[in-house]
Every structure is written in structure tokens, then in C-alpha cells.
């Protein structure tokens, strides 16, 4: 079915849950939150997808995407533990994990358009304007989304800083 091998199904089914998990966190928190239940599940499913791509990939770029995903995923989950980075940790974490969502969606959209419906895919040519447009839209969404996340983090940080300074001023008056 869909020209996918049994190992390909392990890869597909193993990484597919990362999509709704990412959507859930992006809608609820505005970013991937690594130290949450959904964040832990996202990590596991992304790891399954990134590791198994090396076994099922047919395109020359696939191992590059898999390796980049692994590096970004591990860096995104690890950077939060580097205390020397201070507030930059949250920004780096957000950007790195947003890039993993991007690297998840590019092959997902491409493979879906090139395989569905079974036997008569929507796109048969990798140079199709529809495929290029869909991938371009994902790229634009990444750029706009990361900018929006950074703005949100900056505003949240300023509110927290103002709240903390107002609290310390009130505490010193008491």
C-alpha cells in the first residue's frame, strides 16, 4: 500500500504522532516545550523518525535531513540545561525545535503529495508547481512562526521582568 515497505511503515507510524504533538504545543504554548509530557513524547517520536529514515530513505537528501533533525533535536532538548546561556536558552530551544518541526513537515508533505491517493498521487513530478508551492509555504510558515515566537518570548520576558521588579519594590516597602 502506497509503495511503503514494512520498515517504511515503522518509520511512518513511529514519527507520525510528532505532528499532532507539535501542533498541540505550538497552539497551547506558542512553541515546543521540551520539559513537558507532550514535549517528551515529541522527542521520542521524532527520534524514532530521525533514526529510521537512514534505513528507509530513497532520496539522496533524506539522510541529510535525518542527520540535521537529530542534531537539532538533541541540541534543542539539551540547550535548556546549559545554565551559562541564561535567557538565551529559551530562544535557542525555541528556534532549534521549530526547525525540527520544519524538517518533519517537509518530507511529510512531499511524501503525502507524491503517494496519495494510492496509485494516483496528487503529484507525480518532483518539480511540480503544487509541490514546490506547498514546500515554499512550509518555509514561509517557519520564518513567520519563528519571528512570532521570538516576539512573544521577548514580550513575555519583559512582563516577567516588570512583575519581578514591581514585586521586589513592594517587598522593600513592606
The domain spans of the chain are 6-173
pLDDT, tens digit, for every residue of 15-59?
A: 999 999 999 999 999 999 999 999 999 999 999 999 999 999 888
Q: Give the pLDDT confidence score for residue 2 in this predicted structure.
A: 75
State the Cα angle at 40 between 38 and 42, rounded to 5°: 65
Distance CA 119, CA 27 (A): 35
pLDDT, tens digit, for every residue of 71-115?
A: 999 999 999 999 999 999 999 999 999 999 999 999 999 999 998
Could you tell me the pTM of the whole model? 0.87
pLDDT, tens digit, for every residue of 104-153?
A: 999 999 999 998 998 899 999 989 999 999 999 999 999 999 999 999 99
Direct distance between the N- and C-terminal alpha carbons of the chain, in angstroms, rounded to an integer = 71
Q: Give the pLDDT confidence score for residue 58 in this predicted structure.
A: 82
Residues in the chain, how many? Answer: 174
Confidence label for 163 from pLDDT (cuts 50, 70 and 90): low
Q: Give the pLDDT confidence score for residue 141 in this predicted structure.
A: 97
CB 42 within 8 A of CB 24: no
Amino acid at each position: 500500500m502506497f509503495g511503503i515497505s514494512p520498515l517504511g511503515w515503522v518509520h511512518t507510524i513511529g514519527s507520525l504522532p510528532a505532528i499532532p504533538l507539535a501542533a498541540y504545543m505550538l497552539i497551547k504554548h506558542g512553541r515546543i516545550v521540551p520539559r513537558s509530557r507532550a514535549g517528551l513524547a515529541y522527542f521520542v517520536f521524532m527520534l524514532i523518525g530521525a533514526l529510521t529514515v537512514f534505513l528507509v530513505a530513497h532520496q539522496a537528501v533524506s539522510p541529510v535531513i535525518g542527520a540535521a533533525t537529530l542534531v537539532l533535536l538533541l541540541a534543542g532538548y539539551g540547550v535548556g540545561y546549559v545554565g551559562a546561556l541564561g535567557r538565551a536558552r529559551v530562544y535557542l530551544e525555541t528556534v532549534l525545535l521549530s526547525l525540527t518541526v520544519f524538517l518533519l513537515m517537509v518530507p511529510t508533505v512531499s511524501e503525502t503529495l507524491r503517494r496519495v491517493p494510492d496509485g494516483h498521487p496528487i503529484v507525480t513530478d518532483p518539480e511540480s508547481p503544487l509541490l514546490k508551492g506547498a514546500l515554499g509555504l512550509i518555509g514561509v510558515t517557519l520564518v513567520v512562526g519563528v519571528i512570532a515566537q521570538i516576539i512573544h518570548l521577548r514580550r513575555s520576558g519583559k512582563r516577567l521582568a516588570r512583575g519581578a521588579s514591581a514585586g521586589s519594590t513592594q517587598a522593600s516597602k513592606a
